[in-house]
C-alpha cells in the first residue's frame, strides 16, 4: 500500500500546476517574451502579420510544435547521445511541423495555401531550438511542455498585436471586417463621418519594414515600463 501511495504522490507531483509551473507560462508572455526580450522568431513576425487571421493560425502552429517538441525531447533526453542531440531535436521538430501542416491543409486549405511556406519554416524558428537546448534537455517532460506553451503564447501575443495594427491601419479591417474606411460596416465609416473623410488606408503599414518598426516600438514600450529588461538581450 505504501508503494502504491508513493507512486500516486509522484504521479501527482509530476503533473502539478503550482506557482513555478504558472511562471513557466506567464513569464514568456511578459518579462521573458521570446520576441521582444529574447529577440527570437522576429523574421516570421515580419512576414505573417499582414492579417490577424494568419497571425493567429501561425501562433497556434508554433505553440503546438514548441510544446510537443519540448515534451518529447524531455521525455527522450536521457536516451539521446549528446553528439547527435541537435539532429534528433530537428527530426522531432520536422515530424511535428509536418503533422501540423497536414492538419491545417485538411481543415482550412485557403489559410494553408497562404501560410504553407511559413508553416514549413517553423523548423528554422530560433525559439524552438532555443527552448529545447535551454530547457527541455535539462527538465522533466511536464515542465518542458508548459515552457513550450508559455513561449508559444508569448510569440503568438506579439504576432497578433503586430497583425492587428498592420491590418487596421493598412487595410482598415480586423479579422476581415471593415472597421475604418468609406465602406466600413463597423465603428468608423469615413464617408459618413465628416471629420474622418480624410482617412485612407496606408498600404505602407502592410510592408515588412513597418512590422519591424512596430516590433521595435513594442520593445521600447516594454523596456520603458521595466528598465530591468534593458540589458537582457
198-221 pLDDT, tens digit per residue, is: 566 677 888 888 889 999 999 999
pLDDT one-digit tens code per residue, 33-49: 999 988 888 887 888 88
β pairing state of 188-189 and 173-174: unpaired
Share of the chain above pLDDT 70, in %: 84
Q: Which helix (H) or strand (E) holds 188?
A: strand 188-189
Q: In whole angstroms, what is the distance from residue 140 CA to residue 113 CA?
A: 36
Q: What is the largest CA-CA distance in the chain?
A: 79
Q: What is the pLDDT of residue 190?
A: 53
**For the chain, domain boundaries:** 47-229
pLDDT of 176 reads 74
Cell numbers at 157, concatenated: 501575443
32 is written with which cell numbers?
A: 521573458
Q: How high is the pLDDT of residue 47?
A: 82
Q: For 121-159, b where at least 16 C-beta lie within 10 A, e where not — what string? A: ebbebebbbbbbeebbbebebbbbbbbbbbbbbbbbbbb
pTM: 0.85
Across 91-99, average pLDDT? 95
What confidence score (pLDDT) does residue 55 get? 93
Judged against a pLDDT cut of 50, whether residue 12 lies above it is answered with no
pLDDT tens-digit readout, 98-120: 999 999 999 989 988 888 888 88
User: Within the chain, where are the H helices?
Assistant: 2-14, 19-26, 42-47, 52-76, 85-107, 109-120, 126-134, 141-171, 208-225
Average pLDDT over residues 172-177: 79
pLDDT per residue as tens digits for the range 178-197: 777 666 555 555 555 555 55
Where residue 123 falls among pLDDT bands split at 50, 70, 90? Answer: confident
What pLDDT sits at residue 230?
A: 77
Amino acid at each position: 500500500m505504501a508503494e502504491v501511495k508513493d507512486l500516486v504522490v509522484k504521479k501527482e507531483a509530476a503533473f502539478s500546476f503550482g506557482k513555478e509551473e504558472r511562471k513557466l507560462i506567464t513569464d514568456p508572455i511578459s518579462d521573458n517574451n521570446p520576441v521582444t526580450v529574447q529577440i527570437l522568431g522576429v523574421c516570421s513576425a515580419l512576414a505573417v502579420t499582414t492579417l490577424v487571421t494568419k497571425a493567429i493560425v501561425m501562433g497556434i502552429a508554433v505553440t503546438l510544435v514548441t510544446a510537443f517538441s519540448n515534451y518529447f525531447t524531455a521525455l527522450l533526453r536521457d536516451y539521446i547521445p549528446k553528439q547527435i542531440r541537435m539532429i534528433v531535436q530537428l527530426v522531432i521538430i520536422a515530424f511535428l511541423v509536418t503533422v501540423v501542416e497536414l492538419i491545417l491543409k485538411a481543415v482550412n486549405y485557403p489559410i494553408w495555401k497562404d501560410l504553407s511556406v511559413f508553416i514549413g519554416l517553423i523548423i528554422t524558428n530560433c525559439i524552438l531550438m532555443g527552448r529545447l537546448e535551454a530547457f527541455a534537455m535539462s527538465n522533466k517532460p511536464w515542465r518542458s511542455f508548459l515552457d513550450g506553451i508559455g513561449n508559444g503564447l508569448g510569440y503568438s501575443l506579439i504576432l497578433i498585436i503586430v497583425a492587428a495594427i498592420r491590418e487596421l491601419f493598412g487595410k482598415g479591417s480586423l479579422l476581415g471586417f471593415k472597421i475604418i474606411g468609406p465602406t466600413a460596416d463597423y465603428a468608423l465609416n469615413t464617408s459618413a463621418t465628416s471629420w474622418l473623410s480624410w482617412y485612407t488606408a496606408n498600404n505602407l503599414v502592410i510592408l515588412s519594414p513597418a512590422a519591424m518598426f512596430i516590433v521595435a516600438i513594442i520593445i521600447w514600450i516594454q523596456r520603458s515600463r521595466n528598465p530591468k529588461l534593458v540589458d537582457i538581450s
